Amino acid sequence: MKPLIAPSILSADFARLGEDVTAVLDAGADIVHFDVMDNHFVPNLTIGPLICEALRKYSIAAPIDVHLMVEPVDRLIPDFARAGATYISFHPEASTHVHRTIGLIREQGCKPGLVFNPATPLDWLEHVLDELDMVLIMSVNPGFGGQAFIESSLGKLRQVRSMIDARGLDVRLEIDGGVKVDNIGRIAAAGADIFVAGSAIFGSADYAKTITAMRKAIDAAI
Ligand code: DX5
Ligand code: ZN
């Protein structure tokens, strides 16, 4: 599957979010990573469905990849579906009935994803991988941008890549946290095909140059 670059708007300029998201898409990004934090599941508070809807109203047409770091999960799903989300992913620890939450996301017309924290075992996938459109491997502990990449997530990526391939599934494998130009090649080689990058892209002076360098490193590695 075509590798996709997904800038995390957690590191964008919130005072001029529409412009900044347009700029990053014009610079060659593929999808918009949208981090939702609730000061409960994670120790930070960010954005909700109103902002997602505002981006759609601002004519952002690219897929929006909503990463829910909230507990409980289910009540927010219809709101994000109405607000124009494409993917909705959640952490299994935050939902009492994981299979039901996945079904709810699909019923609402969105693509379900399941997210694994650095210490969360992959066992859940045994039972629900066939129901998913995306698996998201966290390579930092969720809550903040700008943290260092946790190397053990490469092994986890390889494991999920083999599970997806062994079952012949069309499931995206996303990595999130500490992704930079200088490690993205190794991450691609481990099997990821969606690359979230917040500070590395929005913190750079030239978005197009950074995204092009990321693509080159990915192409060289796969
Ligand atoms: C962390 C978020 C990430 C974050 C990544 O909880 O899920 O999406 O924005 O930021 P960087 O790329 O700066 O590590
Ligand atoms: Zn995220």
Give the nearest ligand 1 atom to 179 CA: 12
Average pLDDT over residues 170-191: 98
Q: Per the structure block, which two tokens stand in for 11?
A: 């590191």
Pairwise CA distance, residues 65 & 63, whole Å: 6
Residue with tokens 């943290």: 147
Judge whether 129 and 173 are in contact, CB under 8 Å.
no
How many other CB atoms are found less than 10 A from the CB of residue 14?
Answer: 12
Positions of E strands within the chain? 4-7, 32-37, 64-69, 87-90, 111-116, 134-138, 172-176, 194-197
Classify residue 125 as exposed, middle or buried by CB count within 10 Å of its CB (0-12, 13-18, 19+). Answer: buried
Please list, in sequence order, all residues whose beta carbon lies within 8 angstroms of the beta carbon of residue 15, skipping any fewer than 6 positions away.
none
State which residues form the domain around 182: 4-221
pLDDT (average), residues 112-130: 98
Reduce the secondary structure of 50-82 to three states and give it as a string.
HHHHHHHHCCCCCCEEEEEECCCCHHHHHHHHH
Count each helix (H run) and each strand (E run) in the chain, helices first: 9, 8
Active-site pick, 20, 35, 38, 133: 35
- For residue 126, what pLDDT is reported? 96
At 79-106, the pLDDT tens digits run 999 999 999 999 999 999 999 999 999 9
Q: What is the mean predicted confidence (pLDDT) over 119-127?
A: 97
Separation of alpha carbons 82 and 151, rounded Å: 37
Phi, psi for 219 (deg, rounded to 5) = -60, -35
Amino acid identity, position 90:
F
Q: How far apart are alpha carbons 142 and 92 in whole angstroms?
A: 13
Hey, which of 37, 147, 175, 195 would you mutate to test ligand 1's pocket, going by the most ligand atoms within 8 Å of its Cβ?
147
Give yes or no: 35 in active site.
yes
% of the chain surpassing 90 pLDDT: 100
Q: Please tell me the predicted confidence (pLDDT) of residue 150.
A: 98
Mean pLDDT of 102-117: 98
Instruction: Indicate if the alpha-carbon torsion angle 127, 130, 131, 135 is positive or negative.
Output: positive
* Number of domains making up the chain: 1
Ligand 1 neighbours (beta carbon < 6 A): 8, 10-11, 33, 35, 67, 140, 142-143, 145-147, 176-179, 196-200
> What pLDDT sits at residue 11?
98
Index of the ligand 1 atom closest to the CA of residue 143: 6
pLDDT given for residue 122 in this prediction: 98
SS3 88: strand
The pLDDT score that the predictor gives to residue 208 is 98
* CATH code of the domain containing 39: 3.20.20.70
Distance in Å, CA 97 to ligand 1 centroid: 26
The active-site residue out of 20, 30, 133, 176 is 176
Closest CA to ligand 1's atom 4: 145
Q: What span, in angstroms and rounded, lies between the C-alpha atoms of 138 and 117?
A: 5
* Ligand 1 atom 7: residue of nearest CA: 142
Question: How confident is the model at residue 73, as a pLDDT?
Answer: 98
Q: What is the pLDDT of residues 19-70, one digit of tens each?
A: 999 999 999 999 999 999 999 999 999 999 999 999 999 999 999 999 999 9
pLDDT of residue 59: 98
